[in-house]
């Protein structure tokens, strides 16, 4: 996670990452044709990241997201980079630029559990880069 190009060191215990490249299929039937026509429209990306944290520094990111949503810090951008490692030893990256975030739930399951921080994100586009 980067905020205005600066890595957020407080989010290092990523437990899970999920991303969905959203598409929509359109279907239209025309007079005189025997089958429908189809088209696909790309509608961006959304996903979820779950973090474990061991100190309260993650609250700085929460406040930065809230300040951006309240228009207190114009020009703030959040970018995500996920590196995926495969059993073959190859890796790939997904880079999501200019993310927007949904609700920001913070959880404490019990005294023997790690604290959890879930980030739902959305963006207009993402790049997939092989390493």
Is 69 inside a domain boundary?
A: yes
Query: CA-based diameter of the chain, in Å?
Result: 68
Number of domains the chain contains: 1
Structural domain includes residue 29 = no
Q: Which domain holds residue 100?
A: 2-24+38-130
Given a cut of 90, whether residue 4 has pLDDT beyond it is no
**Cβ contacts of residue 108 below 8 Å, gap of 6+?**
115, 116
CA distance 120 to 88: 30
**Tens digits of residue pLDDT in 70-110:** 999 888 888 888 888 899 999 999 999 999 999 999 888 88
pLDDT in tens, 53-74: 777 878 888 898 999 999 998 8
pLDDT in tens, 9-18: 556 567 888 9
Q: Is the pLDDT of residue 51 over 60?
A: yes
Q: pTM for the full model?
A: 0.81
Average pLDDT, the chain: 88
- Asked if residue 78 is part of any domain, the answer here is yes
- Residue 109 within a domain: yes
Q: What is the CATH number of the domain that holds 116?
A: 2.30.110
Question: What pLDDT, on a 0 to 100 scale, did the predictor assign at position 54?
Answer: 75
In a domain, 30, yes or no: no
Say if 48 falls within a structural domain.
yes
The enclosing H or E element of 102 equals none
């Amino acid at each position: 996670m980067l905020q205005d190009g600066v890595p957020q060191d407080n989010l290092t215990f990523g437990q899970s990452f999920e991303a969905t490249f959203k598409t929509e299929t359109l279907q239209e039937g025309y007079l005189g044709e025997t089958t429908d026509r189809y088209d696909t429209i790309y509608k961006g990306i959304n996903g979820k990241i779950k973090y474990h944290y061991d100190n309260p520094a993650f609250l700085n990111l929460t406040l930065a997201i809230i300040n951006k949503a309240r228009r207190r810090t114009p020009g703030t951008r959040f970018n995500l980079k996920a590196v995926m490692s495969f059993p073959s030893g190859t890796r790939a990256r997904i880079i999501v630029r200019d993310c927007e975030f949904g609700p920001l739930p913070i959880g404490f399951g019990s005294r023997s559990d790690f604290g959890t921080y879930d980030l739902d994100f959305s963006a207009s586009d993402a790049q997939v880069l092989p390493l």
